[in-house]
Amino acid sequence: KPELHELPVPDIVSLGAYADQLQLEAEARGEVLPPPIRLQIGEPDFRTPEHIRQAAIESITNEVQTYGPAGGWPWLRERLAEKVRQINGYQVDASNIAVSMGGTGGLLSTLLATLNPGDEVLIPDPCWPIYLPQLQIAGAIAVRYPLDPANDWLPDLSRLDEQVTPRTRMLLINTPGNPTGAVFPRTVIAELLEFARRHDLYLLSDECYDQLVFEGEHISPATLLSRQELEEGRFIGIYTFSKAYAMTGWRIGYVVAGTRLIKTLVDVLNANLTNISTPIQRAALAALTGPQDCIEVMRESYRRRRDLVVAQLKAAGRYSYTPHGAFYTLIDVSSRHGEPRGGRQFSLDLIGVSNVTVTPGQGFGAISDEYVRISLAASEQALLLGVQAICRLADR
């Protein structure tokens, strides 16, 4: 087992802290710096809608707060199954759902429920950095498969087979993707599913941004499976309330899989969190049953900001890709003079020069080393100033 204190600190945290430290140092010298423009955090800049907050308050006031079932209350699981059928487009019922502590908790519990130490898991490069410590906790080994910046950040399917060994147990995919914003088309999803079948792998599908798509549609691999195949347990879908309903701090998500796998997962959930608290589950129910226009409002703002950023990058000659979903943009900051600089050094310099925080691409993988990620969950003004500063520094 790894030493837990050796788990890496994400750059998102350490760079934010660095900006804060510079601020404090300036204050100590008697200087006044404008507050940092923070573009590094992947968190909606909207408040959780009122009716969702109200549902939690009513539960606290009116319900007895006892332990609940480890996989979530039946009334929520039933409604989640309906959401999956209606929005994600595949057939499930409540027995296929387990409520988890956000997508993060759903992912970790899934890895603990399915993997043995030494198992290999194919994960994208670049990808959400938390997959790595989670695999480390599960004792599994991450094997990175490349997403190709020259091909809209899609996986290079011709190279996947070479990476399979007798220890490979799982293929993890994430669409809409963090940090790329890529949305995999149906043909790619079909090929990835075929690959998982060919090598008898779990297909773990991180769909935490399923409702934040600007162009095209989100295709869950489960829509290409029969109900029987879903029950056999190859597919595991990870979902969250964090992004679509601006509920990051509430910590609630859910896992969708075959009934047997969900039973195992519920045992793992029972052993590590007992249950998600009832007011939070009531809030989640209100999110599903209440007006859905809040999702549309947020999606449209992300789209407007995305268009603004893309237009600015085009004007600065730094445009490479238009994200189709999620709320991030990877910006190529490689020097035009040839020598590599690395996104991390760039990010540190950017804080020093312009007080703008971004996330270095290398935190997501080797392929995005010369990139930085900005989050679109910031005001248009902050994005305009931030992208200007990034392009200015990149062109130096």
CA distance 94 to 82: 9
Question: Is residue 333 a contact partner of residue 394, using CB atoms and an 8 Å limit?
Answer: yes
Footprint of ligand PLP on 186-215 (CB under 6 A) = 206, 208
The mark string for 172-191 relative to ligand PLP (x by CB under 6 A, - otherwise) is --x---x-------------
Beta carbon nearer to ligand PLP, 23 or 363: 363
**Dihedral pair phi/psi, residue 96, rounded to 5°:** -95, 5
CA distance 289 to 274: 25
Beta carbon nearer to ligand PLP, 283 or 389: 283
330 lines the binding site for ligand PLP (CB under 6 A): no
Q: Select the span of 50-58, 85-93, 102-110, 266-274 touching ligand PLP (CB under 6 A).
A: 102-110
Residue 325 DSSP class: B
248 lines the binding site for ligand PLP (CB under 6 A): yes
Q: What is the DSSP string of 224-293?
A: GS-HHHHHHT-EEEEEESTTTTT-GGG--EEEEE-HHHHHHHHHHHHHHTS---HHHHHHHHHHHHS--H
91 lines the binding site for ligand PLP (CB under 6 A): no
374 lines the binding site for ligand PLP (CB under 6 A): no
Out of 136, 242, 301, 312, point to the residue binding ligand PLP (CB under 6 A): 242
The 3-state DSSP class for residue 147 equals strand
**CA quadruple 122, 123, 125, 130: dihedral positive or negative?**
negative
Beta carbon nearer to ligand PLP, 128 or 371: 128
40 lines the binding site for ligand PLP (CB under 6 A): no
Report the nearest approach of ligand PLP to the CB of residue 166 (Å): 28
Instruction: Give the C-alpha distances (Å, rounded to integers) separating 184 from 50, 159, 180, 190, 352.
Output: 33, 17, 11, 10, 37
Q: Select the span of 67-75, 97-105, 152-160, 191-199 touching ligand PLP (CB under 6 A).
A: 97-105
Q: Select the span of 83-91, 240-248, 298-306, 340-348 touching ligand PLP (CB under 6 A).
A: 240-248
Instruction: Give the C-alpha distances (Å, rounded to integers) separating 383 from 52, 203, 379.
Output: 29, 36, 6
Residues that bind ligand PLP (CB under 6 A): 42, 102-104, 128, 174, 178, 206, 208, 240, 242, 248, 253
